[in-house]
Amino acid sequence: MRKEENSKNWNAVKTNDSWAIFKIMGEFVNGYEKMSRIGPCVSIFGSARTKPDHKYYKLAESIAKKITEHGYGVITGGGPGIMEAGNKGAHLAGGTSVGLNITLPFEQHDNPYIDSDKSIDFDYFFVRKVMFVKYSQGFVVMPGGFGTLDEFFEAFTLIQTRKIDKFPLILVGTKFWGGLVQWIKTTLLEENNNISPGDLDLMHVVDTEDEVLHILDNFYNKTKHSPNF
């Protein structure tokens, strides 16, 4: 009897998986249609838990404002914390402010600084990450947790393996990121030879909005803005 029940449950899972394809396709179509109209943008990542009075919130807002004043829009995950700071900076500068929102049981809710026609909701993390990577001209990575690391290393891997075109990956906060960068250099590169020396050139570690803008401008003085794959 249990074997028959397990078989029925397994068949139900397979049926649900098949129908889920259409929902996934719908998220891709909706995302592509809206994102293809936004123009050159830079994604800003970081913790959803960072409060407005924190130095990294204020720095993210300042970075977003400055890069928006230089012709870039801003894309964030649409939620609170650093994401809100990024959208707020773009909004205050009168620039494009995009929010790629994800449905979560905690933490996530839309922030009020996203352009009303550029707020997009996703159920699937992997669809959302495709939108970040495809339509961003650079990643500005503020201090954050597992989600921030996931987004950074996803882009790093895709550039390293040449699945997408190279674009700036900028870690902001040498004190926060220093330990990780040192571990990459010593453990991954020097001790285990798990990466190539040139891979380290794919990322930059900075502390100020001027440094962020300098890296972006230097890169795009030689490269045209375009979708990444």
Q: What is the pLDDT of residues 115-147, one digit of tens each?
A: 999 999 999 999 999 999 999 999 999 999 999
Each residue's pLDDT tens digit, 155-204: 999 999 999 999 999 999 999 999 999 999 999 999 999 999 999 999 99
Residue that wins the pLDDT comparison between 211 and 222:
211
Bridge partner residues of 99 (DSSP): 76, 119
Confidence of residue 59 (pLDDT cuts 50, 70, 90): very high
| Residue 49 in this model has a pLDDT that exceeds 90 | yes
Average pLDDT over residues 95-112: 85
169-172/136-141 β-pairing: parallel
Number of residues that make up the chain: 229
Question: What is the distance between the alpha carbons of residues 67 and 209, in angstroms, rounded to a whole number?
Answer: 8
CATH classification for the domain delimited by 2-220, as one of 1.10.645.10, 3.40.50.450, 3.90.245.10, 3.40.50.20: 3.40.50.450
The H or E element containing residue 25 is: helix 2-35
Q: What is the pLDDT of residue 165?
A: 93
CA distance 151 to 149: 5
Predicted pLDDT at 7: 59
For residue 174, the surrounding DSSP H or E stretch is helix 174-183
Residue 217 has φ and ψ, to the nearest 5°, of: -65, -40
Pairing of strands 203-206, 169-172: parallel
Structure confidence at residue 110 (pLDDT)? 85
pLDDT in tens, 3-44: 565 655 655 555 678 888 999 999 999 999 999 999 999 999
pLDDT of residue 5: 58
